[in-house]
Structure 1
Amino acid sequence: MSATTGTPDGAHVVHVVETLGMGGMERAIATLCRTLRARQIRTSVIAMKQLGAVADELRDMGVPVHLAGVPVSPPDYFAWRRLVPVLREVRPTVVHTHNSAPLIYGAPSARWCGVRRIVHTDHGRVLPDRRHIMIAERCAASVVHAMVAVSAPLAEQLAAHLHIGPHKLHVIVNGVNAVVPVAPAQRDRTRAAWFGATDGPIVGLAARLVWEKGLNVLLAAWPQVLAVHPGARLLIGGDGPERAALERIIEQRALGASVCMPGMVSDMAAFYSALDVFVLPSVSEGLPLALLEAMSMGLPIVASAVGGMPAALGPSQAGVLVPPSDVAALARALCETLDGLGRADGAIALGARARATFAREFTAESMTSAYMSLYGIRT
């Protein structure tokens, strides 16, 4: 579908989200807002339910943030009207909704307010969803001008389960700004702060601690990794509802000496710089920003073959892919990658291919250009 073109003069893109906590989707929105503003496009964000750490980040860069107070649980499908006065106040020319609840509530309110362009992005989910949710999404999708999936497999699921036609459905992969490595001295200090004076390799990831990330699978595989690489350490950054369960697994398997869970990470450059191998054992994904950030750093990557990760890593052999929930395969891939650290034909080559693939396909600039086309804005 070709978008109607226009000019940035008077354009105002308003993103509608459920919350603004420190998740991958919220960080993607912040990246998009930052890049749009660099192109002189006015942006605002409406959070339906609650604010969070990303709200502060947005405000720091000059993006207005509004809290609408729309209840999303239990569902009240007439509550979309609560968004109407907020939209009338901010006066968008484009409304961009993100994930299920903002689609259900945001799209009808934008249509009611006469917004000329409505775009929706699904950032990754498990389908089929509950029947009443999918019926509501199909109704809301009827007023949307463009539906975006962050990976081709997700687009196929949206087409099958939400009946989105090819004229409306687009794939726009996530993009991020490249992470700049910290100086070696800072890297050493960061590693020592988490694991003391260790010379062993550090495997890790930063993610929201939810079951979809497959961290229980990673902890099940970790003793097998330690049997081959006893000096290895595992770093799991982030927080979320699965934290207590993961801590119990670490205690039950006596992994405390080799596993660190520092909580939320504020300095991502220092975090990624501390790693020798990035791992993402998810059981369900769209196209995670953490994967792209690791690719931009040139880290060797071991990841599950789910969502958009095979398309990101597989064609250029930019990482090692394993079946989801396969403990033995994950342990084997991590051991082989650790064996190849420092080898030109091993982990070094993996990292170089990851960095080159990122620069070619997954930058924030390329993502923003694709969205601007759907918004009908050209510079």
Structure 2
Amino acid sequence: MKVIHLISGGDSGGAKTHVHSLLQNLSRRIDVTMVCFMEGPFAQEARALGIPTVVFPGRNLLRTYSALKRLIRTGGYELIHCHGARGNMMGALLRRATGLPVVTTVHSDWRLDYLGRPFSRLTYGSINAFALRRLDYRIGVSDAMTDLLISRGFDPDRLFTIYNGIDFTPRTPALSRAEYFRSVGLQADEDSVVVGIAARLNPVKDVATLVRGFALAASSCPNLRLLIAGDGDEMEMLKNLARELGVERQVCFAGWITDTDSFYHAIDVNTLTSLSETFPYSLTEGARAALPTVASRVGGVPYLIEHGIHGLLFEAGDAEGLSRHLAALAGDPVLRKHLGERLYQRARQDYSLESTLERQLTIYETILRRKERAYRRDGALVCGAYGRGNAGDDAILEAIVTELRQIDPDLPVWVLSRNPEETRRTYRVNSIYTFAFPRFLWRMHRTRLYINGGGSLMQDVTSHRSLWFYLFTISAAKLLGNRVMMYGCGIGPIHAPANRRRAARVLQRHVDAITLRDTHSKAELEDMGVTRPEVVLSADPTVILPAAPPQVVDGLLERQGLDPQGRYIGFALRPWPGFEEKAALFGAAADYAWEAYGLIPVFLPIERRLDVSAARLAARDMKAPYHILEDTGRSDHTIGLFARMQAVVSMRLHALVFSAGQGVPLVGVVYDQKISSFLSYIGQDLYTDLDQVTLEALCAHIDAACARIGDTEFLSGGVDRLRQVERRNQETARRLLEAR
């Protein structure tokens, strides 16, 4: 593989570090050449690192363009990689002339690059914005940057994400903790908890908020100390601020430091208080030292640090919020240890130099592979109840997208969603508003596969109109040339005779294959007379989704005030006709689980907009300690939380699916036949109808479920079978995509 990199050569800071580090390591694996448009320290340092570097100086654009075109053609390069405005401009010009794919790394928000320089913003800024739209692919230097690109209309299928990786090889600091503190003049002893920051002392780093937050925390935690490493225009202002707040003795200004290893190994808490960031190296350097971190919620920071799991976040400028976090860490060495260890594991896995290098090579391979892809029609369009805040439906979409990408990693995927912007950002797919008929019909002209995506879409209990809508999209997709698949779905109930006839007619004429998640759905199709499509008994696609790693789930529980080693029983309830009359029974059953088995009741929402209110109604008269979670987060977090329950009582199908996949004993409360069908399908027999449920029945089922705790043979049998038959969803989709 031979890649040429184009960059101005006047870069500094994070962009300079990223490019030098990346190319130095890439050059050991592939053939790379860096072209700069000016001579200077950037090019000189690159040569010193062993990076093959060519300089094309001067302002004659046509001459530079011609020389570069000759170099690329004679050099046998396969790909052009740009950085910055001048590189992007030249890449846009060379794209058509060379026929090579062109990718750019977006290091910063180009709309902010020339603030305070109106002429440069008008010229270079405008040219850069124009050029960015005309390149083939873009790489964001953090998930936040990729999200920004998506929000500005760039195609998610042509975006990649990479991070500024660092070397996680263990470091031995030159100085011990005590020696380092003496060298910088910090008055601290063994009992001190030292908070540190390494940053330029300028307004965007907002170190003043750190000094204010520290002063507030130190008033109740006298063992706190603050070590500020860095220099800049705000040094005197910050010293005066520390003096005004009465903490000048606890705060040490170390000035600019070069021995960062000794610094990070000496402090106890790492901090970042910036008002704006893409992805700062100081976070990964602190993570390498396994430091608990308190950071402002800006840029790419929340993608590395999930609040309460890998560190603590506060809103930029909020000194009081920062002070609460510092005080909490000052008084809890166990919390400091847990947060630091989790951050280290996360950063080592995803943000190391090795992972950055492998990610960049994978991006190149993907781009070159896609260059050979030439289909008249390409991609899949997925339609379902997405973008409405239901964790079960969102998990279905995640599972379908995951399996489609396993079939064909380069397949363009489009999704109909009620919240297309969130869907694009979360799943990195193109998305169209569900009822934007002209747009999705136009897209159907170009896709190969239409997927009616999971769940109980073919039913008229909640709405006749939703059934008609899904039937319309199926018919339109087929008429516009797509293969049509219904993916891991449930059928029914469809009560109205006219709806049954309409559904049977559409499915019979316009569907190529239907994979079903339960036997009842198969019987429904047979009763409706649907015989022409290929019908396959499979499973709900969400059974393939993994739980979050154990240390992450520990953090989720700690964030909710729950002991990670505690014993819990989960309840997943939903409003439904007749639920209000029965709600108190669930609270009484939760009390029983606590009294009889010592299980703390935890109410977990699947659709937070509805389920939290149902939980509050059930818990209104409870005597046992309990917890109501307002939100379980993304799919792997939700599954991980259900995995920590000793048993689960649920009205929600996907709470049962998530729990079954983790081998948790189940009690189902049936408001819809899909609940009993699923439980019967996996060999579970503990369920009762909502309209017939009694406290005695619930308690008896809880007894039986608790008796199964630890019975891996019984609990894993149905789960293993589910995962095996779920593969039929993917196999069916593969056959339809490969059919010509």
- TM-score, normalised via structure 2 length: 0.43
SS in 2 for 1:244: coil
- Taking the aligned partners of 1:137 and 1:29, their CA distance within structure 2 comes to 19
Cα distance, 1:82 vs structure 2: 7.3
- Taking the aligned partners of 1:96 and 1:249, their CA distance within structure 2 comes to 42
- Taking the aligned partners of 1:228 and 1:172, their CA distance within structure 2 comes to 41
Partner of residue 144 from structure 2, selected from 123, 135, 153 = 153
Matched, 1:60 2:48: yes
Matched, 1:229 2:213: no
* CA distances 1:277-330 after superposition (whole Å, capped 9, x unpaired): 110112222222221221122111111122221121117811111111111101
Matched, 1:114 2:98: yes
SS in 1 for 2:135: coil
Cα distance, 1:183 vs structure 2: 4.7
Matched, 1:168 2:153: no
SS in 1 for 2:282: helix
Q: Give the conservation status (yes or no) of the 8 Å contact 1:282–1:324.
A: yes
Gap change, CA 1:305 and 1:34, over 3 Å in 2 = same
Matched, 1:28 2:18: yes
Greater relative contact order (Cα < 8 A, sep 6+) = 1
Partner of residue 301 from structure 1, selected from 287, 293, 299 = 293
What is the match of residue 276 of structure 2?
A: 284
Gap change, CA 1:185 and 1:261, over 3 Å in 2 = closer
Question: Aligned pairs, how many?
Answer: 351
Matched, 1:336 2:321: no
- The range that moved more, 135-144 or 254-263, is 254-263
Matched, 1:366 2:351: no
Gap change, CA 1:231 and 1:118, over 3 Å in 2 = same
Gap change, CA 1:193 and 1:213, over 3 Å in 2 = same
Partner of residue 16 from structure 1, selected from 4, 7, 13 = 7
- Taking the aligned partners of 2:110 and 2:250, their CA distance within structure 1 comes to 32
- The range that moved more, 102-111 or 300-309, is 102-111
Gap change, CA 1:41 and 1:104, over 3 Å in 2 = closer
Gap change, CA 1:126 and 1:16, over 3 Å in 2 = closer
Cα distance, 1:366 vs structure 2: 1.8
- The range that moved more, 298-307 or 221-230, is 221-230
What one-letter code is carried by the residue in structure 2 that aligns with 1:96? H
Gap change, CA 1:37 and 1:322, over 3 Å in 2 = same
Unpaired segments ≥5 residues, structure 1? 1-7, 71-77
Cα distance, 1:196 vs structure 2: 4.6
Q: Kindly report which structure 2 residues correspond to 1:1-379, keeping only aligned pairs within 5 A, or say none.
A: 8=1, 11-17=2-8, 19-21=10-12, 23-44=13-34, 46=36, 48=38, 51=41, 57-65=45-53, 84=65, 87=68, 91=72, 93=77, 94-99=79-84, 101-108=85-92, 110-111=94-95, 114=98, 116-125=100-109, 132=122, 135-161=126-152, 163-178=153-168, 180-183=170-173, 185-196=175-186, 198-199=188-189, 200-239=192-231, 243-254=232-243, 256-314=248-306, 317-341=309-333, 343=334, 346-376=335-365
Gap change, CA 1:88 and 1:251, over 3 Å in 2 = farther
SS in 2 for 1:188: helix
SS in 2 for 1:233: strand
Moved runs in structure 1, 4+ residues, more than 4 A? 47-50, 64-70, 78-83, 85-92, 126-135
- Taking the aligned partners of 2:234 and 2:175, their CA distance within structure 1 comes to 35
SS in 1 for 2:129: helix
* CA distances 1:214-267 after superposition (whole Å, capped 9, x unpaired): 32322232321332334433233344xxx2224313224415544344444333
Gap change, CA 1:82 and 1:39, over 3 Å in 2 = same
* CA distances 1:114-150 after superposition (whole Å, capped 9, x unpaired): 3834221223438677784664333202332211112
- Taking the aligned partners of 1:57 and 1:275, their CA distance within structure 2 comes to 31
- The range that moved more, 111-120 or 174-183, is 111-120
Cα distance, 1:347 vs structure 2: 0.3
* CA distances 1:192-221 after superposition (whole Å, capped 9, x unpaired): 211255213322222344433232322232
Larger radius of gyration: 2
How much identity, in percent, do the aligned residues show? Answer: 25
- TM-score, normalised via structure 1 length: 0.78
Gap change, CA 1:245 and 1:274, over 3 Å in 2 = same
Q: Give the conservation status (yes or no) of the 8 Å contact 2:69–2:94.
A: no
Q: Give the conservation status (yes or no) of the 8 Å contact 1:107–1:141.
A: no
SS in 1 for 2:291: coil
- Taking the aligned partners of 2:354 and 2:131, their CA distance within structure 1 comes to 29
- The range that moved more, 61-70 or 202-211, is 61-70
SS in 2 for 1:38: coil
